[in-house]
Structure 1
Amino acid sequence: MVWDGTSLHELRADRIDTVNNHGTGCTFASATAALLARGGSVQDALAAAKSFVTRAVAGSATWRLGHGHGALDHSGASWPVHASRSRCAIAAA
């Protein structure tokens, strides 16, 4: 859920049944910050970051790494980015 000061936006995705979710918050924040730094709008950056995290969780869903909550598949979650100097447009994967 994202409140932009006037309206509430929901970032939805299907639930992925896995214990490999360690780092989802940090990954989401880092992806959002990187996209904002490239000139993307807040709404576009949040939507693309959510999509990236969802793919990273899905990519690691079947991994069995030690005990507890495992890592995300950051390398398998990359997305195509088309950017100009003035703005950043994220192509949804």
Structure 2
Amino acid sequence: MSIMATPPQASDIDDIHREDENSGHNGSGYERDETDTALHQLVRHLGADGDRRAARVGRRRARRTLADMAPGYERQPILRMAPGIVFEASEQARGYAA
């Protein structure tokens, strides 16, 4: 008696991936949601508002970076590398190596 193997089937993950690939109003795939667009609009609006306020006090544009806001300020490094540690073999270990 022989046992027939069942043909491989797509898993749930493959189904979800396929749905994501074909989603969207025209089936072209993933589309960004409204929050991305809203965030970009808000940031553009804040930048434009800052530029208008800066123009009123005689600056060309609003300060946007740390260098603009605090000239000459130097940030502390986040990671400081320690000097390398050198290990020397003990007298006992040197005796075994010989």
The structure with higher relative contact order (CA 8 Å, sep 6+) is: 1
TM-score (norm 2): 0.25
Q: Point out the structure with the larger helix share.
A: 2
Max radius of gyration: which structure? 2
Q: Point out the structure with the larger strand share.
A: 1
TM-score (norm 1): 0.26
